[in-house]
Amino acid sequence: MRTFLWGASFTFALTVAGAAQMAPREPMPPQPLPETISVSGTGRATVIPDRFTFTVGVQTVGESVDAAVNENNSKVAAVIAALKKAGAADKDIRTSNFSIYPQQDYGQGKLPRILGYQVSNNIHVRRDNIGEVGRLLQAALNAGVNQSSGLQFEVSDPAKGRDQAMRAAYDDARSKAVLLAQAAGRTLGRAITISEGAQPAPPYPYPRAMAMKAEAAGISAVPVESGSQEVSSTISVIFEMR
């Protein structure tokens, strides 16, 4: 009989202890949200172009398609040979346009009469050495090109200058946040979130048009300056205020 009572008491004690452990906990009080300040910053970095592109072309006119094309082919071949001799590689040269247009006489009340044909062939050049642009342009001029457009200077690595611009943008944002926090009688805490408000602006090339004569004789050396370009970055930062 004593053994039964002791076992029942022990079972009751375990049941009470288990019920105490399974009792629901009271919810934690909500934590106050940190006070924050949101600012944006802009940073810029200057980069030097390291690549150039330009397009030159030859335009010829003949009484027949064959005559106009053959003359054009001969002159374009001379231009390509001159560019390669001046240092351009095969990968730097490509044909960007080839066109044939009839030259027509539109008499009043009559059907158009074909007088001849105009053939144009353009060559696009891209080179990674800025120092060679003047020599290549000069070689193309001397070889007989009579059309040109789109001389541009580029930065071959789009990320060049990006890191510097983004650091400058963060420093700009933080300096604004410090000023505003001090004006409110507070101190600035850690950065909570950082987001890029705008992609870094791509370097804008400087197009330079070139006026050319059909005759290459007597053309002076082509002066070229690549200048510099600017990369910009804008970010948004949320700081904690204390």
End-to-end CA distance of the chain: 70
The residues pairing with 116 across neighbouring beta strands, listed in sequence order, are: 103
Tens digits of per-residue pLDDT, 12-27? 444 545 544 555 666 6
Q: What is the mean pLDDT of residues 158-165?
A: 86
> Within this chain, do residues 149 and 177 fall inside the same structural domain, yes or no?
no
Note whether residue 143 is domain-resident. yes
Confidence of residue 109 (pLDDT cuts 50, 70, 90): confident
Order of strands, edge to edge, in the sheet holding 188-198? 36-47, 229-241, 188-198
Residues 55 and 68 in one domain: yes
92 and 80 Cβ atoms separated by less than 8 Å? no
CATH number (domain holding residue 61): 3.30.70.2970
Q: Mention every residue, 6+ apart, whose C-beta is less than 8 A from residue 167.
A: 43
- 146 and 62 co-located in one domain: yes
pLDDT digits (tens, 9 = 90+) for 208-237: 333 334 344 454 556 666 777 788 899 999
Q: Are residues 148 and 181 in the same domain?
A: no
Q: Same domain, yes or no, for 96 and 181?
A: no
Contact present, 199 and 5 (Cβ < 8 Å) = no
Confidence of residue 62 (pLDDT cuts 50, 70, 90): very high
Distance of CA 78 to the CA centre of its chain: 34
Please report, for the domain that includes residue 176, its CATH number: 3.30.110.170
Report whether pLDDT(149) > 50: yes
Residues in a beta bridge with 1:
none
Total domains, the chain: 2
Q: Could you tell me if 66 and 143 lie in one domain?
A: yes
Mean pLDDT of 113-119: 93
Range of the domain at 111: 51-154
Q: What is the pLDDT of residue 30?
A: 64
Examine residue 5 and state whether it is found in any structural domain, yes or no.
no
